[in-house]
A and B are shown apart, each in its own frame.
Chain A
């Protein structure tokens, strides 16, 4: 059977795009013909992805939704099975005043999500958190299909020079967060936590915030100003970096801190688990589900207490080992074998439905 995927955008290195590529592979391995179509295609992916205008409308389609796009209104024209894969839409209020265009796209996406409910034969979601939104809207045949991740990509070599530089200059604890510089990810709360940690627990500590700030230049400026106001040194906001540098920051770090207030899944948590970094995270949205029994969850943003918690984790080897053991167990659930089997079995169920 032919099962195509349709996306608003295929970006290079993006979790959703990578997941689509993996899904294509497993669909083909299961004997289906599978292609990917997108409205916007990154130049490095043109050999893998075709323009959305070319998608045949008489074949089964999986529509990936994370942002508003006119493609949503094409879905009713598809005459075979229609499936939604929902990656969650960030509430627009996080982006207002920073990137109003993106905020408007988020509002559009929410409307499109409501519109599509009557046209989808099934709706999949990366997490139960995302699935619950679909259930509330009245979608039929909903199921959780976790993102399929190529963990072997993370075994690639690090950036040798950067690693040498980081290790030579390392004198204390290196805190890390990986993710787009965006208001919903609340990097300002990580900076405030770091303030207490550096001032009272480890004056040689460093904070690395690794992620692109494209379209969020205003928020990036505000974070830098906040660090300046708090007279903080050793806060490094890297911007977009190549994949091997991301690996380097993970390998160098001692602990992963997340304060995000909205995540549909949060792939960096799995990455941190892969690199055996103990995780301390704010308990919100899909984060507790992704972490499972791994990591430590904080329910309140009491910055000095979180800083004290970081100190406890860094110093207490037994606690750290338990954390890492639990994280390793949790990570195994997201193995490519397991997640691809879940995905294919859900697809097969829908294809057999009348």
Chain B
């Protein structure tokens, strides 16, 4: 049973713990979820891959800010005439919606396309890196095999010429 701290002499911590134990035993709780880790959205390779930190940060900022909402909270810091100013601003916003909405909608669509394209590019970079890595390993293997073959050919040559 874990420790708790309660800085009050009128109530004993032992009593609280006793009540906790009673609650736990009443419900007979056997399961333990302490080892359940947070689900990781990204592989470790996402954190240590070929994409530079600057590119990752830029992508995060794009994902965060592509959708500019025009429905932001209207407020005023003025104490007495503030509510009237807020009402006035809301009226103006309502009357301008017909003009502003199509423009912001187009902008949001463009932003979304750019964000998707960037995400796809980053994904492609990572896939390319994976392919390069595989190719590099294959090449290493071929170089090693080649060296072995050269050694064997040299041995045979020496043997024949004795």
Contact = CB atoms under 8 A, between A and B. Distances in A.
A164 interface: no
A32 B36 CA distance: 55
Interface residues of A, number: 49
Contact of B1 (A196, A214, A305, A326): A305
Contact of A226 (B7, B29, B38): B38
Contacts of A226: 36, 38-39
Nearest to B3: A299
A274 interface: no
Contact of B4 (A195, A214, A229, A296): A296
A308 B20 contact: yes
Contacts of B41: 218, 221-222, 225
Contacts of B91: none
Interface in B18-48: 19-21, 23-24, 27, 29, 32-34, 36, 38-42, 47
B57 A100 contact: yes
A299 B21 CA distance: 17
Contacts of A47: 77
Given A100-B57, A200-B29, A44 B4 contact: no
B39 A304 contact: no
Interface in A95-141: 97, 99-101
A302 B29 CA distance: 12
Contacts of A300: 2-3
Q: Is the interface of B mostly helix, strand, loop or mixed?
A: loop
A312 interface: yes
Contacts of A305: 1-2, 20, 24
A171 interface: no
A309 B4 contact: yes
A192 B5 contact: no
B10 interface: yes
Given A225-B39, A296-B5, A312-B19, A304 B29 contact: yes
Interface in A265-316: 283, 288, 292-293, 296-306, 308-309, 311-312, 316
B38 A283 contact: no
Interface of A: 44, 47, 97, 99-101, 188, 192, 195-196, 200-201, 214-215, 217-218, 221-223, 225-226, 229-230, 242, 283, 288, 292-293, 296-306, 308-309, 311-312, 316, 318-319, 322-323, 326
